[in-house]
Structure 1
Amino acid sequence: MRLLPLLTAVLVAAILAVAIMYRGALVAFANGASFEEAVAIAEGTAPPPAAAEPDAAAAEPEPEAGAPAAAEDDTAPQPVSVVAMRSTATEVDGAVVLRGQTEAARQVELRAETSGRVISNPLRKGAEVQEGDLVCELDPGTREASLSEAQARLAEARASVPSSEARVEEAKAALEEALINQNAAQKLSEGGYASDTRVASANAAVRSAEAGIAAAESGLSTVSAAIQSAEAAVAAAEREIDRLTVEAPFGGLLESDAAEIGSLLQTGGLCATIIQLDPIKLVGYIPETEVDRVTTGARAGARLAAGAREVVGEVTFLSRSADPQTRTFRVEITVPNPDLSIRDGQTVEIGIEAEGAQAHLLPQSALTLDDDGTLGVRIVGADSMAEFVPIDVMRDTARGMWVTGLPDQADVIIIGQEYVVSGVPVAPTFQEPTQ
């Protein structure tokens, strides 16, 4: 262990101890006291001299006549430099503006209801079809033979109806005869002219006739069931043949090629896709803050992104249920499209007619939030004090945001609003709204 660091530490500790013990003497000596006075203070025989305090009255200079009394306001907050714009409220139409897209009024995928080979020439995509036009036709195969067989069975069943009905009538006649014989046998037996055996035989004949009627009626029921079964088989065969042709359910355009000739379509196989573009729908989604301003039947206009074409229609549907992801409501506007120039899936800017309001056009950067999270702007209020004013966003445009909630005339802080709060003095520099 080296000795020099240890000695240095001991020496520094001794000096600090002496400085602490004789702090009063050292302070007095530093303030100009003599060595003897410092020693007396260290020994405790003399009190430490009081620090020389200048006379406040003498030290404070007399204010000169006419001098500004600004020194008294040195503690007042200095105004914060901000940039503001003088904004005047403007009457803005109340149209609810949103972006959306075009959508076909109707769209359907034609699919085969049975299996078979395509025997019709395919229609190409873009072709116009009318309601009832043939789109796909399948090979009938043995379906026509099955129909003929079902029709033959139906005819056979129907042909057996007269004979079955005749058997029923024959059985009824036999019963009537047996009843007559039974009655005669009973009367003769009562007069002693017929034996009991004859009466028993007459009763057996009646029971046999009744059984014959039941059998004849059962045969007639069997024939009726056979007729119904044959009719069902004929209907099924005819329906199967009807399924061989796939027709357009409404007029429109083919969005895809029809099934190629020679291809095999299974049940559910796609034949073609048809869309109807006249009229066409404009579909958008309204935020929940604006949905109460829109009603079904309201006039609406739209501008297509491609070519800036404008169209006019009316609201035909407004959803009552919000989208769970975006919390917006679907709205549909129906627009005539006789020349089919508007395509499915085009982007449009939609404006729906609503009541107007007084609003200010402000840059988006001017908007801010208060401590409670309320959306608003800060303005230059009375006595050049900053004020926070809550606002409602009416419309978002490329030029800025139309907002309501401000007075007709307002000096809105557009730069520096995040560095001030309500009640803070500001020194605004005004900027033209067009800058």
Structure 2
Amino acid sequence: MRLIPLLTAIAVTAGLYFLVLQREALFAFARGETAAEATETVESEPSAEGAASVTVTAEKRVGVVVKRSEARPLDSAVILRGQTQAARQVEVKAETTSTVLSEPLRKGTQVKAGDLLCELDPGTRLAAHQEAQARLLEARARTPEAEAKLEEANARLKEATINLTAAEKLSQEGYASETRLAAARAAERTAVAGIAAAQGGLETSRAGIESALALVASTSKEIDRLRITAPFDGLLESDTAEIGSLMQPGSLCATVIQLDTIKVVGFVPETEVNRVHLGALAGAELANGAQVQGEVTFVSRSADPTTRTFEVEITVDNPDLKIRDGQTADIVISAEGTKAHLLPQSALTLNNDGRLGVRIVREDQTAGFVLVSLLRDTADGVWVSGLPEKADVIVVGQDFVTEGVPVAPTYQEAMQ
């Protein structure tokens, strides 16, 4: 029963031995060389960077398939995933307490700004408004009387001042008694008090007018609240309140949404937010396959505290209302382009450090490794950057050569 694990251990040990200690012999076997030919392989001196390259006899080169690639402009768009949102959505609510008198409108109805959604029972509000108007008329009627009393008080003060002046002169010359002088002074003080009383009456009258005006405005506003109207052109997303329903401040009358212009909202990561600019052209493909176009109208300045992403809004015209609120969308926002190479995905490989790159054929017909950055993955291949303007990329056999190994390239163009 213990024989199988023992044989497995021996096989694994032998495999590791050849993979680690006899690596060059193993590569030679993979290239179809004999053991004698493998012994002729020697290592070159380390380069300035400290990397070792392997050379093979000139007669033995590794056959590879090469693609002559040239960098092409790539519109390096920012790709997001998001959803559609109504340009405007409002829950229209009551601001007063009363019962609904109007027949309900059904959801899906097209409404215009100012259209009646819910009409409430006025109750005693009309009577209260009329009473407020009557108080205003009464307060205004009292004002002329108060003004006349003030003018009369001013005239009496003027007369009392003249009499006092005359009494003081006569008293100084000995023609008037002290009693007459005291009476003149008392009359003057009485006139001053009359002016103060008349001014108080006028102020009271004016205050009554202001109070009546406020009451009229309050009752008028309360009456206006009885008619709940649509704030803008749109569609009813819910039925309006049923007739006979009791409405209180905050009770929902209806929900109105505007869809003739719609927003496509996505969230861009912080590493790419600087590539998105206001006014940039953008497109989106909805879940049903429909494609729409618009432009970026908002880029958030504050990141979401949880995802560390920034909200982006794209405004799209929707005159036929085919785009609905809440549809999933794949968003593509145009950004500054770059040059890149389109290669088969199979051409990508990893070096000993696990970094992504491709094998190329150098001018001396040896293999080399170049680090690349993956820009976009498409059905036709992958777009990568990091290569020179023109490069001979090994697309078949790249896993059987290492840095500096001589190769015998066969170009795809010649094969086709």
TM normalised by structure 1 equals 0.72
> Separation in 2 of the partners of 1:230 and 1:369?
88
| 1:389 paired residue number | 371
- For residue 179 of structure 1, the aligned residue among 161, 168, 171 is 161
- For residue 342 of structure 1, the aligned residue among 313, 320, 323 is 323
Q: 1:188 to 1:131 in 2, by over 3 A?
A: same
Kindly indicate whether the alpha-carbon contact (under 8 Å) linking 1:319 and 1:329 is maintained by their aligned counterparts in 2: yes
Kindly indicate whether the alpha-carbon contact (under 8 Å) linking 1:185 and 1:198 is maintained by their aligned counterparts in 2: yes
> Separation in 1 of the partners of 2:301 and 2:349?
31
| TM-align CA RMSD | 3.6
Matched to 2:311, the amino acid is R
1:129-208 alignment, distance < 5 Å: 129-208=111-190
Kindly indicate whether the alpha-carbon contact (under 8 Å) linking 2:347 and 2:358 is maintained by their aligned counterparts in 1: no
Give 1:399 deviation, angstroms. 5.8
Kindly indicate whether the alpha-carbon contact (under 8 Å) linking 1:386 and 1:426 is maintained by their aligned counterparts in 2: no
Q: 1:151 to 1:191 in 2, by over 3 A?
A: same
Matched to 2:331, the amino acid is I
| 1:97 paired residue number | 79
Kindly indicate whether the alpha-carbon contact (under 8 Å) linking 1:380 and 1:426 is maintained by their aligned counterparts in 2: no
Kindly indicate whether the alpha-carbon contact (under 8 Å) linking 1:377 and 1:412 is maintained by their aligned counterparts in 2: no
Matched, 1:311 2:292: yes
| 1:246 paired residue number | 228
Give 1:223 deviation, angstroms. 1.2
Matched, 1:325 2:274: no
Matched to 1:404, the amino acid is S
Q: 1:429 to 1:130 in 2, by over 3 A?
A: farther
Give 1:85 deviation, angstroms. 7.7
Give 1:278 deviation, angstroms. 1.4
Matched, 1:354 2:335: yes
Q: 1:380 to 1:369 in 2, by over 3 A?
A: closer
| 1:406 paired residue number | 387
SS at match of 2:383: strand
| 1:7 paired residue number | none
Kindly indicate whether the alpha-carbon contact (under 8 Å) linking 1:377 and 1:413 is maintained by their aligned counterparts in 2: no
Give 1:139 deviation, angstroms. 1.2
The structure with the largest alpha-carbon Rg is 1
Matched to 1:214, the amino acid is A
Matched to 1:347, the amino acid is T
String of CA shifts for 1:91-149, please: whole Å, max 9, x gaps. 43333333322211111111111121111111111110111111111111111121122
Q: 1:208 to 1:82 in 2, by over 3 A?
A: farther
Matched to 1:250, the amino acid is F
Q: 1:71 to 1:299 in 2, by over 3 A?
A: closer
Name structure 1 gaps, 5 residues minimum. 1-66
Kindly indicate whether the alpha-carbon contact (under 8 Å) linking 1:103 and 1:345 is maintained by their aligned counterparts in 2: yes
Name structure 2 gaps, 5 residues minimum. 1-33, 44-53, 57-61
TM normalised by structure 2 equals 0.75
SS at match of 2:325: coil
> Separation in 1 of the partners of 2:252 and 2:88?
17
Kindly indicate whether the alpha-carbon contact (under 8 Å) linking 2:346 and 2:395 is maintained by their aligned counterparts in 1: no
Give the fraction of aligned pairs with identical amino acids, expressed as a percent: 54
**Quick check: 83-92 or 235-244, which moved more?**
83-92
Paired positions, count:
360
